[in-house]
Chains A and B, each alone.
Chain A
């Protein structure tokens, strides 16, 4: 049963324009999703090796537990396409505010945008539903944190984004359902 209810079918129709009447091979979407995820990871790693702020330091993965930044996801593995989309949506809100030089934040933002579209395409193929992120409202103190602890916020955000991306790659290897 791909269309268990009418609203679900409606949602599928909503995503249909994404394909622009082009039959997309789901294997290609899956491969592109993995490649793009790895590309974002490589961008973060590049930042670590070439960035002026953190040069000659092995930052990621962080081995310390940082308190007070619970609203940034990445502590728990992502196990559904919906949670991936939701998490990436949160990072899209966080990234533009991060005070990082020599990091292609705008490029990573665009990559995440593409990645979300791919995940939604995979989801529509599997008949999944997607929700708007509920944690977006909890980002209220992000501005305050960026004022008081900009370095911590930047490093933790990048670290957790990377962990999320690794989790996505792992999940895609065994993707069978939503």
Chain B
């Protein structure tokens, strides 16, 4: 059987009665039986039902009916939810005194759209119904309409919600988690002891009986034409448009309420006449088109407010904007004309009259242009704007102007996989108002950005997280690489919402690639260049440019940067000065077009020091000749200095000592360890060459030294003098005698004769006659200096000296004396002359001026020409 064929009471009406009668009493009720068609009743205040049937009431059961204003609907059900009896009657035929029990019922959907509420209030009961009532609300919900539901679907599918006793004889039933557009079939089970009373079925769609929350935030605003209007805000969660009823009261008594108008806007222009009156305003709302109930009335708003009113009373705006305030000034019940109103800022600065607009006789408007950020003054984070009388009288009330700097810089970075874009921004909390909340909003263009990004009407919010560095970070993943993301920050405050200037970002333009990998560095053999090669990151696929930074690997690293932009490339050769040191090398990359960021530096690569070329030259060497008087043999010890790395390139694994005698005999010796080599001098003349050897080869440019018995007796150096400069430097000068030999170089030997220290030597150029020897000299000790002339024919006889010549420094001291002494004498003469001249001048002044009787009272009358004998 279809539910519609049963007696189903339609809700609305929201308010109805449930009377129940014992069978005896019911049997006398002139009811008519028949099929009842449930009336739609959706647009009416109350549901209706029609019937002509006669009812036979079971004796063992109560009959419960639902009473509207005109009809009563009764029904009786079996346990299987089959309609056993149903009846309808004119309400007039049922006298209230015939009922054993009567409930007033009121049902509605709460404004939060979550809860269906029914209130049952016991209006009367017979004395034999004693004790407490236990009431349950049973319901079945269905997507189907009432006509499509069957009673079978009710069986076993119902849910039960108990009704709680809420005060004496008042019960409240709730159905939570409503589905607004479903059909709810409900009925009540009332248990009194062992007696079960059951209501007829009721059907309702919660959306049809919504009782919204009352409108909020009633306030006065002003139109551009200076007219006052009462405004309000919609209650939250209204699923449909609303209509509003506004009522005014002349005084506080409830009876004096007068409905003025039903409006569909959230404001009503009231003009300026009511301002300052004792009127109260209230607003209520209900669905504009569908069924539903009026909300409760809002909290009253008193129009009898302040003496001076600002519209708006507070403004929150951003730097650089223009704002306007309106003022209505009622001074001691006397309206100040708008032309007599002047505006002041912070009680300190009068706003120029050119910024005023006379909106009408009573309303003055001031406009402030190109605002700068409000500087907090103590606890005041706003500028106070005063509307004053022309006679410089101001009311203590003021309007508040909050100007916030909303220039928030948003920077974005796309990761190396090109799948994630992270945007960062920081808000200067010092410039933001307390209680502000910030949110990143964005809009995505299909591709690219517009030239002038603007905030579109539709946008999405992005969740951002505050980082330790006080930056907010928001992540887009996955991304549209070539779409333009327009981003801005929305700053919400209870005073209003501000938006930072929008910026547009294309993820492909802000890529920070991964650094190149597999970086390898080496100094190339023979060529001697720093060769760096690497593997490019997988993304991006566009051309890249690279920076290579390199430095000698030491404690204090001084990077040098080399940039390669002729992509595609994966290696580079760099000219470096020092080839025999370890270099540390790193590479990074960026888009060739200059957009985006440099990658991080790659992991460092290190060069290995290895032989690049054969040594550039052999070592400088010298000989020490020791005579063995017993054997009558001379032993020659060759000594040389280790080859520096810039000549060895980069190591020396040994030396070759090459002999070439005057008899044209040549032989070589290989020295692997040390820098000395001793051999007996048997030949008259022996030319020695020492070659440095590394893994690449032997040096090609080498020094030669000829040892000749004959040449060792030739005196080429005529004189040799040593002048100590200080403990670290000695000057050696020499003169040469006229000679026939070509000098290729000199060798200077020196040693401390008081200590058993090794002889030191140095090779110097042939074209000089003075040399500064830098060493640690103890000037009180004795040193021996020898100068050997070297020529292709051999080493000549040395000139030796073992004394320091000190004249040079003494002479220098004398020279100082010669300069200083004349200066001292001249100064003395000049001083003496000055004293004499001063004395003469003082004498002249004293004896010429003082005795003048005209200038001195005591001298008047005294004849200084005449001699006076005092005694």
Contact = CB atoms under 8 A, between A and B. Distances in A.
B333 interface: no
A32 to B, nearest CB: 6
Contact of A39 (B448, B483, B541): B541
Contacts of A21: 450-451
Given A110-B479, A114-B482, A38 B447 contact: no
Interface in A1-48: 18-22, 24, 31-32, 35-36, 38-39, 42, 45-46
A97 interface: no
Contact of B539 (A42, A109, A118): A42
A11 to B, nearest CB: 16
A124 interface: no
A18 B482 CA distance: 13
A113 interface: yes
A18 B540 contact: no
B479 A107 contact: yes
Contact of B450 (A20, A31, A36): A20
Interface string A84-101: 000000000000000000
A106 interface: yes
B478 A113 contact: no
* Interface size range of chain B in the complex: 20 to 34
A117 interface: yes
Given A20-B450, A39-B418, A32 B541 contact: no
Nearest to B453: A20
Contacts of A38: 541
B448 A110 contact: no
Contacts of B508: 32, 35-36
A106 B478 contact: yes
B446 interface: yes
B478 to A, nearest CB: 4
Interface in B416-452: 417-419, 445-451
A22 B451 contact: yes
Contacts of A153: none
Nearest to A104: B419
Contacts of B450: 20-22
B299 to A, nearest CB: 48
A39 B481 contact: yes
Interface in B536-571: 538-542
Given A24-B448, A114-B447, A32 B482 contact: yes
A111 B483 CA distance: 10
Contacts of A114: 446-447, 480-483
A117 B539 contact: no
Name the prevailing secondary structure of the B interface residues. Answer: loop
Given A104-B419, A107-B478, A114-B483, A18 B451 contact: no
A20 B453 CA distance: 10
B478 A110 contact: yes
A162 interface: no
Contacts of B448: 19-20, 22, 24
Contacts of A109: 478
Given A32-B508, A39-B541, A111 B446 contact: no
A53 B482 CA distance: 30
B449 A39 contact: no
A113 B542 CA distance: 19
A35 B541 CA distance: 6
A49 to B, nearest CB: 9
B170 to A, nearest CB: 57
A118 B478 contact: no
B819 to A, nearest CB: 80
Which of the listed residues B478, B479, B484 has the most CB atoms from chain A within 10 Å of its own CB? B478
A42 B538 CA distance: 7
* Interface size range of chain A in the complex: 20 to 34
B71 to A, nearest CB: 57
Nearest to A46: B538
Contact of B419 (A19, A20, A35, A107): A107
Interface in B331-349: none
Given A104-B419, A118-B447, A35 B479 contact: no
B309 to A, nearest CB: 45
Nearest to A109: B478
A36 B480 CA distance: 11
Contacts of B482: 32, 36, 114, 117-118
Contact of A121 (B447, B480, B483, B542): B447
A20 B445 contact: yes
A39 B540 contact: yes
Interface in A105-157: 106-107, 109-111, 113-114, 117-118, 121
Contact of A110 (B480, B538, B541): B480
A18 B447 contact: yes
B481 A36 contact: yes
Contacts of B477: 107
Contacts of A20: 445, 448-450, 484
B509 to A, nearest CB: 10
A46 B418 CA distance: 12
Nearest to A37: B541
Nearest to A31: B542
A121 to B, nearest CB: 7
B630 to A, nearest CB: 82
A104 B445 contact: no
A117 B479 contact: no
A36 B511 CA distance: 13
Interface in B463-506: 477-484
Contacts of A113: 480
A46 B539 CA distance: 10
B184 to A, nearest CB: 38
A22 B445 CA distance: 12
Contacts of B447: 18, 114, 117-118, 121
Nearest to B478: A107
A113 B538 CA distance: 22
Interface string B38-60: 00000000000000000000000
A19 B451 CA distance: 10
Contacts of B541: 35, 38-39, 42
A109 B479 CA distance: 10
Which of the listed residues B448, B478, B484, B540 has the most CB atoms from chain A within 10 Å of its own CB? B448
Nearest to A50: B538
A104 B449 CA distance: 25
A119 B541 CA distance: 18
A42 B539 CA distance: 8
A46 B484 CA distance: 26
Nearest to A107: B478
Contacts of A24: 448
Nearest to A108: B478
Contacts of B479: 107, 110
Contacts of A104: 417, 419, 478
A166 B447 CA distance: 22
Given A20-B450, A22-B450, A39 B478 contact: no
A57 B809 CA distance: 88
Which of the listed residues A19, A22, A38 has the most CB atoms from chain B within 10 Å of its own CB? A22
Given A35-B540, A42-B539, A114-B483, A18 B446 contact: yes
Nearest to B418: A39
B86 to A, nearest CB: 52
Contacts of A32: 482, 508
Contacts of B483: 114
A84 to B, nearest CB: 16
13 contacts: A18-B446, A20-B445, A20-B449, A20-B450, A22-B449, A35-B508, A36-B508, A39-B541, A42-B539, A110-B479, A111-B480, A114-B446, A117-B482
Interface of B: 417-419, 445-451, 477-484, 508, 538-542
Given A113-B480, A118-B447, A121-B447, 5 more contacts: A24-B448, A39-B539, A39-B540, A42-B538, A110-B480
What are the 3 tightest A-B residue pairs by CB atom distance, in nearest-first order?
A38-B541, A107-B478, A20-B450
Interface of A: 18-22, 24, 31-32, 35-36, 38-39, 42, 45-46, 104, 106-107, 109-111, 113-114, 117-118, 121
